[in-house]
Amino acid sequence: METLKRLTGVHVFYGWWIVASGVVLAALQSAFYVYGFGVFYMPLLKELNTSRAALGGVIGLSRIQGGLLAPAAGWLIDRYGPRRLLAFGILAMGVCFLVFSRITTLWMLYAVFFALAAAASIGGGQPITVAVANWFIRRRGLAMGILMSGFGLGGTLLWALAWLIEAFGWRTSAVIGGLLFWIIGLPLSKLIHHRPEQVGLLPDGTQPHTKGAPIQNDYLPAEARLESGPLEPELTPREALLTRSFWMLAIAYGVWATVVAVSTVYQIPFLVEELNIPLVTAAFVVSCYSLVSIPGRIVFGWLGDVIDIRNLLVGVFFLQALGLLALSLMPNLSWTPLYILVLAPAYGGSIPLRMSIVGYFYGRRNYGTINGLLQFVDLPGTIAGPIFVGWVFDSFGSYRPGFQVIALLMAIGACTLTLARRPQAPVFERRN
Instruction: Give per-residue pLDDT as tens, 133-192.
Output: 889 988 888 999 999 888 888 888 888 888 999 899 999 999 999 999 999 999 999 898
- What value does the mean pLDDT take over residues 77-103? 91
- What value does the mean pLDDT take over residues 86-108? 93
**Residue 315 placed within a domain:** yes
Which secondary-structure segment (H or E) carries 145?
helix 140-155
Helices (H), 181-308: 186-189, 237-241, 244-274, 279-306
pLDDT in the model for residue 216: 43
What phi and psi values does residue 10 have, to the nearest 5 degrees?
-125, 135
Residues 6+ apart with CB under 8 A from 212: 228, 231
- Tell me the pLDDT band of 380, cut-offs 50, 70 and 90: confident
Q: Write out pLDDT tens, residues 125-148.
A: 788 888 898 899 888 889 999 998
Nearest to 402 by CA among 62, 56, 40, 45: 56
**How far, in Å, CA of 196 to CA of 14, rounded?**
8
pLDDT in the model for residue 214: 46
Is pLDDT above 80 for 7? no
- Domain count within the chain: 1
- What value does the mean pLDDT take over residues 374-389? 82
**Residue 261 placed within a domain:** yes
Q: Write out pLDDT tens, residues 262-293.
A: 887 888 889 988 989 888 888 888 888 888 88
pTM above 0.75, yes or no: no
Domain of 286, CATH number, reads 1.20.1250.20
**Residue 405 placed within a domain:** yes
Query: Percent of the chain, pLDDT > 90?
Result: 28
**Residue 209 placed within a domain:** no
pLDDT in the model for residue 182: 95
**How far, in Å, CA of 11 to CA of 2, rounded?**
9
**Residue 96 placed within a domain:** yes
Residue type, 347: Y
Contact (Cβ atoms closer than 8 angstroms) between residue 349 and residue 357:
no
Q: Write out pLDDT tens, residues 198-238.
A: 788 888 887 655 444 444 444 333 333 333 344 567 888 89
Residues 6+ apart with CB under 8 A from 83: 127, 189, 190, 192, 193, 194
What distance, in Å, lies between the first and last C-alpha atoms of the chain?
31
pLDDT in the model for residue 184: 93
**Residue 205 placed within a domain:** no
Is pLDDT above 70 for 382? yes
Three-state SS for 323?
A: helix
Burial class (CB in 10 A: 0-12, 13-18, 19+), 105: exposed
- What value does the mean pLDDT take over residues 390-416? 92
Q: Which H, E and C letters describe 344-403, residue by residue?
A: HHHHHHHHHHHHHHHHHHHCCCCHHHHHHHHHHCCHHHHHHHHHHHHHHHHHHCCCHHHH
Nearest to 427 by CA among 241, 233, 250: 233
Residue type, 143: A
pLDDT in the model for residue 339: 78
**How far, in Å, CA of 117 to CA of 325, rounded?**
29
pLDDT in the model for residue 59: 67
Domain that holds residue 74: 11-198+232-426
